[in-house]
Amino acid sequence: MTEDSEKRRSITVGRYLLHRQIARGGMATIHIARLMGDEGFSRIVAAKRLLPELAEDTEFVAMFMDEARIASKVHHPNVVPVLDLVTTTDEVMLVQEYVHGVPLHVLLRTARDAGKKIPVRIAISIAAQVLAGLHAAHTTLDEMGAPLDIVHRDVSPQNIMIAVDGSARLLDFGVAKATMAAHTTRDNTFKGKLAYAAPEQVHGKPVQQSDLYALAVVLWELLVGHRMHGSAQGEAELVATILKGELPTITEALANEADWGAIDSEEWKQLSAIEPIVQKGLEIDLDKRFATAEDMEDQLTKAVTPASSSEVATWVKSLGKDFIEGRDKIIAAEEASWRKTLPPLNSSVRRQTSGPGEIKRPSTGDLHPAVSHPPWPAARKTTAIIAVLGALVLVLGVGVVFAMQGGDTPRPATSEAATPPEHIESAAAAQPTTPSADPSKPEQQAVPVATTDSGSAASTASPDVAMEKKPAAKEAPPVRRLGLRPAPRAVKAALVKEKAKEPAPAPAPVPVKAVAPEAQPADDCNPPYYFEGQKKIFKPNCL
C-alpha cells in the first residue's frame, strides 16, 4: 500500500471517521475527519491523533489529556476550540474545530519565496488577534472561579491559523501549563520551539509573559520577512543569543531594504512606531516586559491601525490561494467518496407513506464500510400496535360495564334499611304506573285496579289492552325511586287480593312530625301508606 493510499484510507475512531492525513508533527498526525451523527448528519472537524508508538507512553497521553482539559476551558473567537477527546484501547485523539484557512508559517514561507512583504497593517491585525486570544487564555477561570494560570508555551507561526474570513486563531495547547494539569512538567525542563522561547522558558520556568515574548518574535518575523534566529549556527549559539538578549531591531534588519527603496516612507514610519513595542516584548527582564497581553495589544493598535477582517481575508485568499485550493480539493474528494456510499437523498431523507398510518422507511445499510448505522427499530412498531390494542380493550370493557348497568339505578342504602321488603312490594303493586294520568279517562291508565265489596279485583280493560298501553319499566317513576324492578302481574294480583280481605283500619291521629293527610293531594298514593308510631297504615283511597 502506497503512502498516498494509506493517507486516503478512512478509519473509524469512536463516532469519528478519519479521512486523509493533512499534517504530521513529532507527536501526532492531523486528519480531516467527519463527526458521524444520526440520520446521515455529519460535520467536518480536525482530528489530532497521537502517534501509535506514543499512545502507550503515559507521559505523552497525559500531555494530550492536559491539552483537552485546558483548551476546553478557553472560550474566545481567536482560540480554536477543542470539541472532544476520544480514547480507546489503542487510540488517543483530540478533536478540534476545522478552520478553513492557511497556517501562518505557510504564509510566511510563500511570501518569502515570492519576494513579497507582508503589509504592516496586516501584521498588526494578526498580532493583535493572537494577543486577544492569549489574554483570554491567561485569564481563564475554572468552574469555581479560581484562575487557572494557563501558559501556552508554544506561540509560533505553526500554531496560528489565518482563516479565510480574516480571523487569526491560536491553537495547540499540547504543551500548555496550567495549575489544573494532571501531568505536571518538571522544573528546569524546556518545552516549545526554542527559536520562540523566552530566556526564563529556556531555563524551564515559563510564565504568562513568556507567551508575550514569543508573540514579539512572531511579529518581528512578519514585519522583517525572515526568521529572527535564521543565522544561528546551532542550538548552543541560539541559546546564548536568547539569554544575552542580543537581538537585532526591526529597523536594523530592514536598513538595507530601506536604502534600496523597497520600503516607502509611510511604511518606514509605521515600522518605526512599532519597533519600541516589539523591543519591550523581547525584554529579558520580566519587570520591563509587558505585564499582560491586553497591554501589549493596546499599545500595538494605538501605534498602527490594524487592517480590517475583510482586508486580511483578501490578503489570505490571494497569498494562500494554492494552499486553500489544495485543501478545497481534498475536502471535495473526500466528500464525493463519502456521498457515493450514501443512499439516494429521496430515499434516505424522506419517509414515504405507503398506506394510512403506515410509514415506510427504506433500509439505509452501511453509510461507510467502516461505519454501521442501526436499522429502523422494530420495537417502535410493536409498541404502537400494543398501545392500540390496549386502547381498544379498554374501550370495550367500559362499554360492557355501561351495558350491564344501563337499566338499573343504584339502590339507596336507606331505602332497604327503612322499609321491609314485603311492604315495598305491596307499595309497588298498589302504585299506578302513570300517576299523572286523569282518573276520568280509563284509557289513559296503564293497569287501573279497583276493589269491590266481595273483595274481588276487576280491571276496566282487558289484559291485552292493558299490556299494550303499559309503558316500559324504566318510565315508571315509583319503581325507579324505590330502586326495584316492576313485580310480575301475578304477584301484584295476589298482593291486592290479600290486602282486600283485611278490614280497613280506622283513621288515627297523625303524629306531629307526620304530614297531615289533608296537606297531601287526594290522589297522592306515593307512597300508599303512612305510619302511626311503628304501625304502617295503608291509605283507603289507594287500595
Catalytic residues, which ones? 154
> b or e along 330-362 (b: 16 or more beta carbons within 10 Å of the residue's beta carbon)?
bbeebeeebeeeeeeeeebeeeeeeeeeeeeee
Nine-digit cell string for 536: 304502617
d(CA 416, CA 429): 17
CB distance 476 to 486 below 8 Å: yes
Give residue 373's identity as a one-letter amino acid code. H
Exposed/middle/buried for residue 510 (C-beta within 10 Å: 0-12, 13-18, 19+)? middle
Quote the CA–CA distance of 478 and 486 in Å, as a whole number.
9
Residue for grid cell 486516503: 8
| Residue 388: all three cell numbers together | 392500540
Residue 420 grid coordinates:
321491609
Beta-carbon contacts of 28 under 8 Å, excluding residues fewer than 6 positions away, are 48, 49, 50, 51, 54, 64, 94, 174
DSSP 511: P
Whether the CB-CB separation of 318 and 110 falls below 8 Å is answered with: no
The C-alpha cell that represents 489 in the structure block: 302481574
Q: What are phi and psi of 349, to 5 degrees?
A: -100, -45
Question: Residue 46, Cβ neighbours under 10 Å: how many?
Answer: 20
Task: Select from 420, 417, 438 the least CA-distant residue to 428.
Answer: 420
